[in-house]
Amino acid sequence: MDAQLIYVVLAAAFGLYMAWGIGANDVANAMATSVGSKALTIKQAILVAAVFEFLGAVLAGGAVTSTIRKGIVQTDLLADSPELLIYGMLAALLAAGTWLLIASRKGWPVSTTHSIVGAIVGFAAVGIGIEAVQWGKVGGIVASWIVSPLTAGVIAFLIYNSVIALILSKENPLERAHRYVPVYIFLAAFTITLVTILKGLKHVGLEISVRNSYLLATAIAAGIAVVGAFVIRRIKADPKAEKDQHFVTVERVFGVLMIITACGMAFAHGSNDVANAIGPLAAVISVAQSGLVSAQSATPVWVLLLGGVGIVVGLATLGKHVIATVGERITQLTPSRGFAAELAAASTIVIASGTGMPVSTTHTLVGAVLGVGMARGIEAIDLRVVGRIFVSWIVTIPAGAILAIIFFTIFRLVLP
């Protein structure tokens, strides 16, 4: 077997492993609020994610993808030794996938972006030199540990308080829900459509101006809000169920909304985060075939399909642990609380896309769930669970780096 084929086969295997890790951890985050609030069962969530994550990954996952995510390593330093980039990317995929496997088994919601960034920093520092790493970019990513969950938490706190003020605290909550939930549907659809356009469609090469992006998102959101209003009007009060739980019918109305947000978040997530698995894979294929190091690599269709399949299988086989942590253990979620968290997370991603702030879907969603919990008081949050999550975030970049250094050293010795 010649060296080129060995590299491509290993890259495909490790890329699939990394995509599986993304499905087990990051996708589980995106679905956790829907499952934790009982808007979807675990089987329904897997089905929604399977369809929309796969579509996002394959349709909008990237015709051209950056060789090294987030521009954290100077690729021109590898021009004379392209094989180092191959060893490094293989090590990064295997290291990040391994850390995601460990974290997913433990139920820790960690960032797949930070896992791959840590792994790439590790290989670059050892394989090329400390000066090859853009430490300013790494610092910006570390700063996002604080900024993105805090932003999402504040937005979720405000959204859930608006739900209480407009609907849940009133004498006729169902009537108020019929009136105000279509507005929330519009906001949710607008935000998630904008996330998809800004973060997803740019990968396909569809250049839509900012003005047209907002106009398109407004038009799509208005259509979804009209359909949503029609659906929730048909939800009638159930007096028997209301006796046991006062807001049961109102929460059913928010349950409809949660399904919309779950589909949108899954598509946006698939389109964006599949690059964590396929970027390094595309880089290995490009260098193995051409012998040249480039800043960007074309992505073959089979690579996108591999990423999409890996993500879906990861969620189905190991996603339940992280879903349980985010959806049930941080704070008790209902559809109205879960909706506030998802809308806040999506809003934070839109803000980040507009400002260039590096964010992690995981960190924003956990921050948003914390914000919803805080709206009910600190005692509504399990602080021990939150502490374990924060520790896992801090450990992610060094864990990815150490594993990558080990694997890089091995590949350098044994591969042709």
| 303/288 Cα distance (integer angstroms) | 15
Q: Are 35 and 323 in contact (CB under 8 A)?
A: yes
| 219/190 Cα distance (integer angstroms) | 8
Give the per-residue pLDDT at 255.
86
Beta-bridged to residue 186, according to DSSP, are none
Residue 347: Cβ-neighbour burial (10 angstroms; 0-12, 13-18, 19+)? buried
Helix (H, G, I), strand (E, B) or coil at 114: helix
Please give the single-letter amino acid code of residue 286: S
| 23/319 Cα distance (integer angstroms) | 7
Say how many C-beta atoms besides its own lie within 10 A of residue 145's C-beta: 20
Tokens, residue 388: 């374990």
* 376 closest CA partner among 335, 339, 346, 332: 332
Give the per-residue pLDDT at 301.
78
The number of CA neighbours under 13 Å toward the Cβ of 409 is: 9
* 148 closest CA partner among 191, 186, 114: 114
Give the per-residue pLDDT at 67.
46
Give the per-residue pLDDT at 295.
58
3-state SS of 116-159?
HHHHHHHHHHHHCCHHHECHHHHHHHHHHHHHHHHHHHHHHHHH
Residue 218: Cβ-neighbour burial (10 angstroms; 0-12, 13-18, 19+)? middle
Q: pLDDT 10s per residue in the chain (416 long)?
A: 688 888 989 999 999 999 999 999 988 877 889 898 888 888 888 888 888 888 877 776 664 455 455 567 777 777 777 888 889 989 999 999 999 999 999 999 998 888 988 998 999 888 888 888 888 888 877 787 788 899 999 999 999 999 999 998 888 888 888 899 999 989 988 988 887 777 656 555 667 787 888 899 999 999 999 998 888 888 877 776 665 556 788 888 888 888 878 887 788 777 777 777 887 888 888 888 777 766 566 677 788 888 888 988 998 899 989 998 998 899 999 999 999 998 898 888 777 766 666 677 888 999 999 999 999 888 899 999 999 999 999 999 999 999 999 999 999 999 87
* 262 closest CA partner among 320, 351, 194, 345: 345
* 269 closest CA partner among 7, 20, 3, 28: 28
Q: Are 73 and 125 in contact (CB under 8 A)?
A: no
Please give the single-letter amino acid code of residue 33: T
The number of CA neighbours under 13 Å toward the Cβ of 248 is: 11
Helix (H, G, I), strand (E, B) or coil at 66: strand
Residue with token string 């670059």: 124
| 35/311 Cα distance (integer angstroms) | 18
Q: Alpha helices, DSSP H only, in 238-382?
A: 239-244, 248-273, 275-290, 301-318, 320-324, 335-355, 361-374
Tokens, residue 233: 């009007």
**E strands in 9-133:** 64-66
Give the per-residue pLDDT at 165.
93
User: Domain extents for the chain?
Assistant: 3-414
Residue 230: Cβ-neighbour burial (10 angstroms; 0-12, 13-18, 19+)? exposed
Kindly report the length of the chain: 416
Give the per-residue pLDDT at 62.
60
Say how many C-beta atoms besides its own lie within 10 A of residue 331's C-beta: 24
Please give the single-letter amino acid code of residue 103: A
* 319 closest CA partner among 21, 28, 41: 28
Helix (H, G, I), strand (E, B) or coil at 64: strand
DSSP string, 175-193: HHHHHHHHHHHHHHHHHHH
Helix (H, G, I), strand (E, B) or coil at 110: coil
CA 78 to chain centre: 30
